[in-house]
Amino acid sequence: MKNTKKQIAKVMTLAMVAIFFLTIGVAYAGSEFAKHKLVIQVSTDDPRTQTIALNNAANLIKHYGINDIAIEIVAYGPGLGLLTKKSKLGDRVESMAMQNIEFSACGNTMAKVTKKTGKKPALLNGVKVVKAGVARIMELQEEGYSYVRP
């Protein structure tokens, strides 16, 4: 019985150590530990400009690696369409969201669209809503993010 208790204690200790290191690994991939931080503004419905914004993010991931850069794409105004289910770039946005690129939709814009059309815009998987897109960009810059507007 003593051996069983010791074995259980060893397994529990190893499990706790493994969870600790997994947690550190996940945290390291987060924005607070990234060497580089970038916020990309999308405020136009121009498909070419939206594609450039996504290309910028993809190219930086290739250049620095997923663990060395945190990227958040913030869409507001006419740019919100990039993050909706009607977007022609929707598959690409959802794929990039699974690669730790964050996508933020402006809550103010969503409220205006909802009021105007009577329907809340349907967002793509992986997109979060922030209260105000411009405020989010400002907050990220205050946290040390570089800013790009293609």
Distance (Å, whole) CA 82 – CA 90: 7
Strand runs (DSSP E) across the chain, as ranges?
36-42, 69-75, 102-106, 127-130, 146-148
* DSSP bridge partners of 105: 75, 129
In this predicted structure, which of 21-25, 92-96, 104-108, 112-116 has the lowest mean pLDDT?
A: 21-25
Give the model confidence (pLDDT) of 26-73 as tens digits: 444 456 788 999 999 999 999 999 999 999 999 999 999 989 999 999
Which residue type is seen at 43?
S
The stretches of 39-81 forming alpha helices (DSSP H) are: 47-64
pLDDT over threshold 90, residue 89: yes
DSSP 141: H
Can you tell me the mean pLDDT for 79-95?
Answer: 98
Give the model confidence (pLDDT) of 114-145 as tens digits: 999 999 999 999 999 999 999 999 999 999 99
Tell me the whole-structure pTM to 2 decimals. 0.79
CB 99 within 8 A of CB 71: no
Distance (Å, whole) CA 69 – CA 100: 10
CB 73 within 8 A of CB 79: no
Distance (Å, whole) CA 83 – CA 12: 43
Identify the pLDDT of residue 33. 81
Identify the pLDDT of residue 26. 43
Among 74, 79, 89, 82, residue whose Cα is nearest residue 123: 82
55: Cα separation from own chain's centroid: 15
Reported confidence tier of residue 95, pLDDT bands at 50, 70, 90: very high
Which residue type is seen at 8?
I
35-148 has which CATH code? 3.40.1260.10
Identify the pLDDT of residue 100. 87
